[in-house]
Structure 1
Amino acid sequence: MLTRIATSVIALVLFIPIILFGEWPLLLLMGVLAVIGQIEFIQMNKLSPVSFPAIISAASVFALVLSTRISTVIEGNVMLKIASLLAVSLLVYAVTKPDFKISQIGSIVLMTLYIGVAFYSFVALRTFSATFLILVLLVIWSTDSGAYLIGRKIGKTKLAPDISPNKTIEGSAGGTLTAAVISAVYLIFFPLFESYILSLLFMIMISVIGQLGDLVESKVKREYNVKDSGTLLPGHGGVLDRFDSTLLVLNVLFIIGLF
């Protein structure tokens, strides 16, 4: 527990100033985190981090994060071109490597897009509104903390026993309630939409989506039979473990098109 807390404090001390500063430092940090997350998934697939699939998918996920800058050089839908290039490269590679399966290509391309779009959206959201980004992060973190603390105290009814046996409906509700309280106070000082109620409901939705993102990551790890995605963050696991909720939230915000 102490290791987990110490890691969180150190990460926040390093992370928050970069978020506040934004610009290239944030862009590069998100690119690096995306690459680490992608390599974690590659290793779940029992592939070497220096194999061709690892290198090409890591380069692709980094390019996705940087696609706002790349788009000034390359015309057209940059994200689609990056995804297509990755898929074609892996398909050609599979022809020369019989043990490399088409199902692996599908999962690698899927996770490249999922991770890349999320970290791209992190940068885009910071450019759009720093206060909105901070609120989203506060909602995710407070949901996680609230669900953990309340779930330990009164949690009895399993939320998704086949995916994450320790999560409970009571904990989930408690996490969302905690996020709602945090949002209610934050929105007084930093309004999101013209309607306060609509803004609060939107952040409650973000809380629920974040918990679904946590379950998505648990599903991935269960299918690949791993406890943690990596060991980068002592007490927390890897990048995919720490950003599990954030990945789905940012993908949904990207789809909605708020920034």
Structure 2
Amino acid sequence: MLATALFVTYQASREYFGFMTSKQMSKGMPPPPRVVSVATTVMCMGMTVFSHFYRGKIGTLLAVASFALLVLQVVANKRPKFAQLASSLFGLFYCGWLPSFWLKLRNLALPAPDTPAAAFLTGITGWPTTVGLVAVLTAVAVIIAADTGAYFVGKSLGRTKLTDISPKKTVEGAAGGMAAAVATALGSWALFGWPGSPLAAVVLGVMVFFSSLFGDLIESIMKRDAGMKDSGDLIPGHGGLLDRFDSYIFSGAVTYFFSVFVLPFLNALHGPGGLSAAVSAGLAPLGA
């Protein structure tokens, strides 16, 4: 998974700075110097490696990398613009920090509930079926289901435009995507016993649906401002990597947040102690 994450981080960073250096984007916001874009790409890949080997403890690394990037901007530019500083920091956040949450999620080492599906998964992969593995597979399946449901429902029933950012998206399509996302999360609960209850599965489905939807919309904003139809030409006929993976950028972080904060809260809410126990369970990771 590390090799895949490194490739995604590298390519996403290249395409992101392709947006920043486009002629249309450059009219209103001068792009950062090339040395800064290269340094940002290297830092993004470094975050991925650090997140893998140090189990995702990268909060301090993000702060230090951000400071180093700002220093480099000041040194490399005679008259740096605030827009250049902001675009570089957003690149570090968007292409490095956010994707690293997929590794943080995968590294959740608690064993998953012992179900026939979990045993089958262990048999075909040779890996222990952990909460991290099930969470990654569930999140990916939910995103695919959301995209598929939104496409087919929107194509057949779509009438009401959802937003001007992406004119082809409809309210009906979004509703279909959310329904498909929730159904898939419930399917994961039925197969793997994760997340811990039907309510938790519904919450997960809704959260991942919105993270995938807004990930798509945010990339659309960047493409529009850059005057580009696609983020690149990595995949013939389908554009760049960000065109295919924009729905995943925020979803890893959202699924990790659900797994570490929201799920303990929901589980405790139904147990002894009720709301007070749930609040304690939800806040417990902050003290770790």
TM-score using structure 1 length: 0.80
Partner of 1:14: none
Root mean square deviation of aligned Cα: 2.6
Give the letter aligned to residue 254 of structure 2: V
Partner of 1:113: 93
1:40 counterpart = 2:23: no
Give the letter aligned to residue 158 of structure 1: K
Q: Any conservation in 2 of the 1:43–1:49 contact (CA below 8 Å)?
A: no
Pairwise CA distance, 1:252:
3.1
For structure 2, list consecutive stretches of 5 or more residues without a partner in the other structure.
Answer: 23-30, 109-131, 262-288
Alignment of 1:51-66 (within 5 A): 51-66=34-49
Q: Distance in 1 between matches of 2:38 and 2:254?
A: 27
Q: Any conservation in 2 of the 1:34–1:62 contact (CA below 8 Å)?
A: yes
For structure 1, list consecutive stretches of 5 or more residues without a partner in the other structure.
Answer: 1-25
Q: Any conservation in 1 of the 2:48–2:96 contact (CA below 8 Å)?
A: yes
Give the letter aligned to residue 226 of structure 1: M
- Structure with bigger gyration radius: 2
Q: Distance in 2 between matches of 1:76 and 1:45?
A: 25
* Residues 84 and 191 (structure 1), Cα distance of their counterparts in 2 relative to 1, 3 Å cut: farther
Q: Any conservation in 2 of the 1:114–1:251 contact (CA below 8 Å)?
A: no
Q: Distance in 1 between matches of 2:254 and 2:169?
A: 23
Pairwise CA distance, 1:76:
8.4
Q: Any conservation in 2 of the 1:180–1:200 contact (CA below 8 Å)?
A: yes
Q: Distance in 2 between matches of 1:151 and 1:182?
A: 18
Pairwise CA distance, 1:178:
1.3
Task: Kindly provide the CA deviation profile for residues 166-212 of structure 1, in whole angstroms up to 9, marking residues without a partner as x.
Answer: 10000010011112222222211112233222222222221122111
Q: Distance in 2 between matches of 1:146 and 1:173?
A: 9
Partner of 1:216: 218
* Residues 114 and 258 (structure 1), Cα distance of their counterparts in 2 relative to 1, 3 Å cut: farther
Q: Distance in 2 between matches of 1:223 and 1:76?
A: 30
Q: Any conservation in 2 of the 1:60–1:83 contact (CA below 8 Å)?
A: no
1:102 counterpart = 2:82: yes
Which stretch shifts more, 136-145 or 234-243?
234-243
Q: Any conservation in 1 of the 2:104–2:256 contact (CA below 8 Å)?
A: no
Q: Any conservation in 1 of the 2:189–2:195 contact (CA below 8 Å)?
A: no
Pairwise CA distance, 1:30:
0.7
Q: Distance in 2 between matches of 1:145 and 1:136?
A: 14
Pairwise CA distance, 1:66:
1.4
Identity of aligned residues (%): 28
Give the letter aligned to residue 208 of structure 1: F
Pairwise CA distance, 1:90:
1.7
| Number of aligned residues | 229
1:159 counterpart = 2:139: no
Give the letter aligned to residue 110 of structure 1: F
* Larger relative contact order (CA 8 Å, sep ≥ 6): 1
TM-score using structure 2 length: 0.72
